[in-house]
C-alpha cells in the first residue's frame, strides 16, 4: 500500500482551490470591448467617382467599393460616359453623364479583328485628348457644385479627372485592373505591346527587345499624343506632366495574388481585387428552366463591348453545334449583346458534310442552344450545371469565373484581355484561341480538354479559394479611402506632407544612400587599401631578397 504524504495532499488541495477561484473570477469578470470604429463627426464628405470610358467593366468594381462608403455615410457622385444601369444596385448614388457611351464600333481607323489592341488604345487616348478641355470643365463644374473632397479616378485615358483634383489640391485615388500599368517593373510586360507577361525565362535578345526596342517604339507612337495632351493642358493653365501619370495619393488595383504575377509594390499601390458585388441579379425563369434541364452547359459571352467577325461567329456557332452533337456538352447559353443576328452566315457546314441553317438556332428553335440579348453572367457561372466559360477574357469575367471555379476558353480581342489570357493559361485554368486563326477542330479539342483534365480541375479549386479569400479586400480599399478622407487637410496636401507615412525612406535618401552603396564603397576601399599594402610589402620583401642574393653571388 502506497503511503500518502499529508503535506503534499494539502498542497494539491490548495492549488486546486486557487485554480477554481481564478477560473470563476475570469468567467464573471466584465471585459472591456475593443472599439474598431473611429470618430466620423466630419461626415458626410463628398467623393467624385470619374471614368472617361465608362461601361460596366470599368465602373462596376469602383461602384462596389463606393457602395461601402455610401453605407458609411459618404456622398458619392458618379461622372462617366453613358449612364450606369441599373442604378438600383447602388442606392444613394448620384449619376451625371460625362459624354455619350464609348463604343468599340465608334473607333475609326482601327480594325479590332486584326489589331492586338495597342492601336485601339492609342485612338481612345487621342479621343480623350480631343475632349480634354470639355471633360476638364465638366469635372470642375461638378467638383464645385457638389463640394468634392476626394476624386476616385479610373486612370484609363482619364487625365482630366486627376488634373482637376491636383489643381483643386484634393487627394486622388487612382483605379485600374492592370498592375503593370500602375507600377511597372522591368521583369514583366504586357502582351498588348508585343512581349510576354513575364520575362523571367526569355532569352537575352528577347529581354533586350522588350526592355529597349519596344519602349522606344511605344514612345515614338505615343510622343505626339503626349505633346498634344500637354498643349491641351496649357490652354487651361494646367501644368504639363512629362511622361508620367499625374500625382495620385493612392493607387488601387483590381487584381490579386495567385492570378497576378508577383512583384514588389510601392507602399501607396495596393492590390484589392477581385472586387465583386455583394449580390447579383438572378436567372430569368426562362433561362433557369433551360439550365436546369441541361447538365453540361457551355456559357459564351464576349462582354458588353467586343464582338468578332461574321466568319468567326459562324465558326463559333458551328463548334457549339458539333460539341452538342458529339455529346461533349449538352447545352449552350450565348448572350449576343453587341453581335447582331445579321453577323452570321445563313448556313453552317458541319465537318460530317451536313448543313444546318443558322436563323432557326438564333431564333431559339434549337432545343439545346439558348440565344439571348443579355444574361446575368454571375448567376449563369454560379449555376452548378455551367461547366465551361467561352470568354473574351476581360477582368470582370475572369474574376467571376475564378470565383465560381469555372474553367475558361479565351478568345482575346485586345487591351488587357491578351495579358489576362496568358496569366490564366500560365496558372493552368484556361486555354486560349487566336482570333486570326480560329478553327472549329481546335475549339472542340480545347473544350474537351478543359472539361476532362484533372489538373485543370485541381488548379481551379486552388484559384477559387484564393478568389474568395481576396474578394474581401474591397473593404480594405474602402478603409484606405476613408483614411485619406479623414486626414486630407488642405494645408498638408499642398505642402506634400500628406500620407508621408506611406513614403519609404529610400525615396528621400537617394539611390546610393538607400542601397548602402556608399558604405559598401567605403568597405571596398578599405579592403583594396589593405590588399594593396600587403601586396606592396610582399613586393618589397621579394625585391630585397633578390638583391641580397645577387650581391652574395658577386661576392
Residue 273 lies in a domain: yes
Contact 304, 322 (CB under 8 A): no
Cβ atoms of residues 312 and 435 within 8 Å? yes
Q: Could you tell me if residue 68 is inside a domain?
A: yes
Report if residue 21 sits inside a domain: no
**Quick one: 436 and 479 in the same domain?**
no
Cis peptide before 391 (omega within 30 of 0): no
- 194 shares its domain with 100: yes
| Same structural domain, 89 and 178 | yes
Decide: helix, strand or coil at residue 259: coil
**What pLDDT, on a 0 to 100 scale, did the predictor assign at position 333?**
92
Q: Give the pLDDT of residue 491.
A: 46
The rounded distance, in Å, linking the Cα atoms of 279 and 175 is 22
Asked if 534 and 462 sit in the same domain, the reply is no
Residue 183 belongs to some domain of the structure: yes
pLDDT computed for residue 98 by the predictor: 82
pLDDT value of position 178: 84
Same domain for 406 and 485, yes or no, is: no
Helix (H, G, I), strand (E, B) or coil at 473: helix
Based on the domain organization, do 230 and 133 belong to the same domain? Answer: yes
Burial of residue 233 (CB within 10 Å: 0-12, 13-18, 19+) is buried
User: Whole-angstrom Cα distance, residue 417 to residue 424?
Assistant: 10
- Summarised one tens digit per residue, pLDDT across range 257-298 is 888 888 888 888 899 989 998 888 889 999 999 999 999 999
> SS in 3 state form for 356-373?
EEHHHHHCCCCCCEEEEC
Q: Answer yes or no: do 206 and 328 share one domain.
A: no
Does 311 lie in the same domain as 226? no
What is the span of the domain harbouring residue 132? 46-277+475-502
If asked whether residues 267 and 305 sit together in one domain, one would say no
pLDDT above 90 coverage of the chain, percent: 26
Answer yes or no: are the C-beta atoms of 459 and 429 closer than 8 Å: yes
| Cβ-contact 408, 391 below 8 angstroms | yes
Within a domain: 120: yes
**Residue 494: inside a domain, yes or no?**
yes
386 falls within a domain: yes
**Which of 455, 470, 485 delimits the end of a domain?**
470
- pTM equals 0.81
Q: Alpha-carbon distance 324 to 397, whole Å? A: 24
What one-character-per-residue DSSP string does 93-107 give?
Answer: -EEEE-SSPP-GGG-
- CATH number at 423 reads 3.40.50.2000
pLDDT < 70 positions in the chain:
1-29, 41-42, 85-88, 102-121, 242-244, 305-306, 338-340, 488-501, 507, 546-555
pLDDT at 314: 84
Residue 188 to residue 92: CA distance in whole angstroms: 40
How many domains are there within the chain?
Answer: 3
| Helices assigned H by DSSP within 383-516 | 395-404, 416-426, 440-452, 454-470, 474-486, 490-494, 506-509, 511-514
Q: How far is 389 from 466, CA to CA, in rounded Å?
A: 19
23-40 residue pLDDT tens: 555 555 678 777 777 777
Whether residues 372 and 250 fall in one domain: no
* Residue 14 falls inside a structural domain: no
DSSP state of 429: S
Q: What local confidence, expressed as pLDDT, does residue 6 receive?
A: 62
> Is residue 394 classed exposed, middle or buried when 0-12, 13-18 and 19+ CB atoms within 10 A define those classes?
buried
The reply to whether 458 and 357 lie within a common domain is: yes
Q: What pLDDT sits at residue 413?
A: 79
> How many other CB atoms are found less than 10 A from the CB of residue 274?
25
- Grid cell, residue 363, equals 431564333
pLDDT attached to residue 1: 46
Instruction: Single out the residue in 449, 470, 491 at which a domain terminates.
Output: 470
Same-domain pairing of 341 and 412: yes
Amino acid at each position: 500500500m502506497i503511503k500518502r504524504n499529508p503535506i503534499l495532499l494539502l498542497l494539491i488541495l490548495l492549488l486546486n482551490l486557487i485554480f477554481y477561484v481564478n477560473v470563476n473570477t475570469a468567467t464573471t469578470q466584465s471585459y472591456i470591448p475593443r472599439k474598431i470604429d473611429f470618430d466620423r463627426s466630419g461626415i458626410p464628405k463628398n467623393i467624385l467617382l470619374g471614368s472617361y470610358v465608362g461601361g460596366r467593366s470599368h465602373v462596376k468594381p469602383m461602384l462596389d467599393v463606393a457602395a461601402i462608403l455610401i453605407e458609411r455615410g459618404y456622398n458619392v457622385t458618379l461622372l462617366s460616359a453613358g449612364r450606369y444601369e441599373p442604378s438600383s444596385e447602388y442606392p444613394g448614388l448620384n449619376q451625371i453623364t460625362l459624354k455619350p457611351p464609348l463604343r468599340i464600333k465608334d473607333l475609326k481607323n482601327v480594325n479590332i479583328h486584326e489589331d492586338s489592341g495597342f492601336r485601339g488604345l492609342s485612338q481612345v487616348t487621342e479621343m480623350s485628348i480631343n475632349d480634354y478641355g470639355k471633360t476638364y470643365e465638366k469635372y470642375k463644374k461638378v467638383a464645385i457644385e457638389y463640394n468634392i473632397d476626394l476624386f476616385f479616378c479610373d486612370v484609363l485615358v482619364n487625365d482630366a479627372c486627376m488634373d482637376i483634383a491636383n489643381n483643386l489640391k484634393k487627394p486622388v485615388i487612382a483605379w485600374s485592373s492592370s498592375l503593370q500599368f500602375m507600377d511597372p517593373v522591368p521583369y514583366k510586360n504586357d502582351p498588348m505591346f508585343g512581349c510576354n507577361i513575364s520575362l523571367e525565362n526569355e532569352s537575352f535578345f528577347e529581354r533586350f527587345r522588350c526592355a529597349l526596342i519596344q519602349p522606344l517604339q511605344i514612345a515614338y507612337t505615343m510622343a505626339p499624343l503626349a505633346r498634344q495632351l500637354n498643349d491641351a493642358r496649357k490652354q487651361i493653365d494646367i501644368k504639363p506632366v512629362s511622361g508620367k501619370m499625374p500625382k495620385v495619393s493612392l493607387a488601387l488595383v483590381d487584381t490579386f495574388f495567385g492570378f497576378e504575377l508577383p512583384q514588389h509594390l510601392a507602399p501607396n499601390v495596393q492590390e484589392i481585387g477581385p472586387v465583386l458585388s455583394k449580390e447579383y441579379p438572378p436567372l430569368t425563369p426562362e433561362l433557369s428552366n433551360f439550365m436546369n434541364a441541361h447538365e453540361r452547359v457551355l456559357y459564351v459571352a464576349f462582354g458588353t463591348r467586343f464582338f468578332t467577325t461574321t466568319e468567326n461567329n459562324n465558326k463559333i456557332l458551328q463548334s457549339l453545334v458539333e460539341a452538342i452533337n458529339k455529346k461533349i456538352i449538352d447545352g449552350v447559353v450565348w448572350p449576343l449583346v453587341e453581335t447582331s443576328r445579321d453577323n452570321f452566315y445563313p448556313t453552317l457546314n458541319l465537318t460530317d458534310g451536313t448543313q444546318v441553317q443558322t436563323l432557326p438556332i438564333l431564333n431559339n428553335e434549337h432545343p439545346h442552344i439558348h440565344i439571348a440579348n443579355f444574361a446575368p453572367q454571375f448567376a449563369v457561372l454560379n449555376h452548378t450545371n455551367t461547366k465551361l466559360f467561352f470568354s473574351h477574357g476581360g477582368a470582370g469575367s475572369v474574376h467571376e469565373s475564378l470565383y465560381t471555379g469555372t474553367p475558361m476558353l479565351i478568345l482575346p480581342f485586345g487591351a488587357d484581355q491578351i495579358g489576362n489570357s496568358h496569366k490564366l493559361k500560365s496558372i493552368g485554368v484556361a486555354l486560349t484561341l487566336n482570333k486570326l486563326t480560329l478553327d472549329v477542330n481546335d475549339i472542340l479539342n480545347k473544350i474537351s480538354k478543359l472539361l476532362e483534365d484533372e489538373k485543370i480541375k485541381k488548379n481551379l479549386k486552388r484559384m477559387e479559394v484564393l478568389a474568395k479569400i481576396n474578394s474581401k479586400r474591397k473593404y480594405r480599399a474602402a478603409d484606405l479611402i476613408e483614411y485619406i478622407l479623414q486626414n486630407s487637410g488642405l494645408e498638408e496636401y499642398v505642402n506634400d506632407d500628406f500620407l508621408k507615412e506611406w513614403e519609404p525612406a529610400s525615396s528621400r535618401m537617394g539611390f546610393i544612400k538607400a542601397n548602402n552603396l556608399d558604405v559598401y564603397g567605403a568597405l571596398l576601399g578599405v579592403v583594396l587599401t589593405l590588399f594593396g599594402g600587403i601586396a606592396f610589402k610582399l613586393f618589397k620583401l621579394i625585391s630585397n631578397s633578390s638583391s641580397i642574393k645577387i650581391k652574395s653571388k658577386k661576392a
